[in-house]
Amino acid sequence: MTILTDRICQRRVTKRIKIYDRKCPGLYVSIIPAGVATFYFKFTDPATGKQRSVWLGVFNPETFTVEDVRSKIYELKALAPAELVEQLRKTQTTKRRHGKTVNEIIAERITWMKTPVKKPDGEMRPRIESWANVARHLRNFLSPRLGKKIASDVTKHDIATLSNDIVAGRHGGKPSVSNARHMRRAASGLFNWAAEAGRDYITASPCVNLPKLDAEHPRDRVLTEDEIRTLWHGLDRTDLPWDRKTRLALKFALVTMLRSGELLPIHRDDLNRENGTIDIPARRVKKRRVIHQPLSDLALEIITEAMGHDDYAFTGRFGDAPLSRQAMSGALKGTKHKDGTVKTPGLCALLGLKPFTPHDLRRTAATLCGELGLSEASIALCLDHQASKDETGKPLPAVTRKVYNRATRILVAKKRAVLDAWAAELRRIIGTKAEGLRLAA
């Protein structure tokens, strides 16, 4: 027998050992080669007269030390026999909850996130609609490093170390502040969920007071008028390796300011020719609210050609389903073989343009509309950014638009004024074809 200390509990062993505490009779710690030290309390069951050993918890230098477990045993010894047995029964229940690994909790969390529930628009969709992205971050970043660890043993230091390794590229991938931020957000959601009443897999989230990550600089790529002209007429060429529907989708994105995920699945039923709008259902919108986007004459020309006789405007190779969400970005940057060599050159390279993304087309349209002197609030509406101020600059209560004011006619009119002006400006820009346009070397 010896006097247990925190240092003893952190000892590295080659096989499982038990160490009894001389200071607190009945207390012993079981240490295994994996580095886990578990506290137990050995006592005589008053009902049977036999000795029993019950689990009390896993050593944690921050939350459950030797002194903590001694205090717990002193409290148990002060109880009446019946109360002692009941308390130990509850302790065993806690063990079953607190004994779950991070991987087990990740699996439960993913199932919970993707379970369909009724949404405000009446449709049944996953509880967390971005669950696939969250699941990928948990599986790619958290699981390989901490998956086999008992969830209640994960510390703030573990999360901070993993975060630093992702930033430095020591986790098996490229250095990335963005990935570290994604990991932290996914881990925070996981551990907060695990600590909620009714689950109680852990007592508190370890994702608190972590060191701040370096700031990520937002993209600021805006195409110039010359680049817009080169792109527009380049997309009409017949000698490019990318299909016509993908190229029309790029044009449509520039004209309408819609996001890739909003415009690519446009169905014939979404097109309202009488009102000259595209009605994007809430399930495809980032903020999960219906978008009534007016179509300028230029946008109507594009969507009419793209739709043809198909049900979807921007179809893939088989013509019965929309293009994938990565279709436009893939066409712009091209594809590569596994060894890094170019498989199919992208449109940016073929047309001699500095690389840009489909999202940069939204920024380009918004910027040039701002240059025209159009209302910033109306431009924000076209981008589906909820206005926080009225035309005079006075703050608007968020609940007004979200819950009470459901009117759309005035909003559509404001957006139409911007998009019609933008279409006219685009026609001016693309009026003359760029001279000497050839495939880039």
What integer is the mean pLDDT of 282-298?
88
Residues counted in the chain? 441
Is residue 400, in this structure, part of any structural domain at all?
yes
* Chain centroid, CA 99 distance in Å: 28
Same domain for 418 and 322: yes
Task: Kindly provide the b/e burial profile for residues 292-327, where b requires at least 16 CB atoms within 10 angstroms of the residue's own CB.
Answer: ebbbbebbbbbbeebbeebebbbbbeeeeebbeeeb
Same domain for 367 and 231: yes
Same domain for 425 and 312: yes
Give me the torsion for CA of 297, 299, 300, 303, rounded to 10°.
Answer: 170
Is residue 199, in this structure, part of any structural domain at all?
no
- Residue 430, CB-side half-sphere exposure with 13 Å CA sphere: 19
* Chain centroid, CA 216 distance in Å: 16
Rounded to the nearest 5 degrees, what angle is found at the Cα of 217, between the Cα atoms of 213 and 222?
Answer: 165
What integer is the mean pLDDT of 119-136?
89
Q: Which two tokens stand for residue 425?
A: 């400006």
Mean pLDDT (the chain) is: 86
* Domain end (from 55, 70, 98): 98
Same domain for 368 and 289: yes
Q: Is the pTM of this model over 0.85?
A: no
Is residue 215, in this structure, part of any structural domain at all?
no
- Distance CA(365)–CA(233), nearest Å, equals 17
Which residue stretches of 66-176 are H helix?
66-77, 81-98, 102-114, 131-137, 143-146, 156-168
Same domain for 178 and 140: yes
Same domain for 177 and 243: no
Same domain for 273 and 316: yes
Count of H helices and E strands in the chain?
Answer: 18, 11
Rounded to the nearest 5 degrees, what angle is found at the Cα of 212, between the Cα atoms of 147 and 159?
Answer: 15
Written as one string, the DSSP assignment of 300-364 is HHHHHHHHTTSSBSSB-TTSSSBPPTTHHHHHHHEEE-TTS-EEEE-HHHHTTPPP--HHHHHHH
Domain encompassing residue 389: 225-429
CB 278 within 8 A of CB 272: yes
pLDDT one-digit tens code per residue, 52-79? 777 888 888 888 899 999 998 888 888 7
Is residue 210, in this structure, part of any structural domain at all?
no
Query: pLDDT-derived band of residue 224, with 50, 70 and 90 as boundaries?
Result: very high
Pick the residue with more confidence: 40 or 397?
40
Q: The domain that contains 78 carries what CATH number?
A: 3.30.160.390
Q: Which two tokens stand for residue 380?
A: 């924000």
Is residue 297, in this structure, part of any structural domain at all?
yes
Same domain for 421 and 276: yes
| Bridge partners for 57 per DSSP | 39
Is residue 124, in this structure, part of any structural domain at all?
yes
Per-residue pLDDT at 391: 56
Same domain for 273 and 421: yes
CA-based nearest residue to 56, from 90, 33, 7, 103? 90
Is residue 218, in this structure, part of any structural domain at all?
no
Is residue 346, in this structure, part of any structural domain at all?
yes
Query: pLDDT-derived band of residue 32, with 50, 70 and 90 as boundaries?
Result: confident
pLDDT one-digit tens code per residue, 371-418? 999 998 899 999 998 765 555 556 555 554 554 444 567 889 999 999
Instruction: Please tell me the chain's helix, strand, coil percentages from 3-state DSSP, rounded to the nearest 5.
Output: 45, 15, 40
Q: The domain that contains 260 carries what CATH number?
A: 1.10.443.10
pLDDT one-digit tens code per residue, 179-206? 999 999 999 999 999 988 777 788 788 9
Rounded to the nearest 5 degrees, what angle is found at the Cα of 141, between the Cα atoms of 138 and 144?
Answer: 100
Q: Which two tokens stand for residue 325?
A: 């969400």
CA-based nearest residue to 102, from 145, 166, 48? 145
Per-residue pLDDT at 4: 94
Same domain for 288 and 239: yes
Per-residue pLDDT at 404: 43
CB 371 within 8 A of CB 429: no
As for how many domains the chain has, the answer is: 3
Report DSSP state, residue 401. Answer: I
Tell me what percent of the residues of the chain surpass a pLDDT of 70. 88
SS3 118: strand
Same domain for 314 and 189: no
* Domain end (from 98, 119, 139): 98
- Distance CA(257)–CA(187), nearest Å, equals 33
SS3 366: helix
Per-residue pLDDT at 282: 83
Same domain for 31 and 71: yes
* Domain end (from 38, 72, 98): 98
- Distance CA(387)–CA(391), nearest Å, equals 10
CB 306 within 8 A of CB 137: no
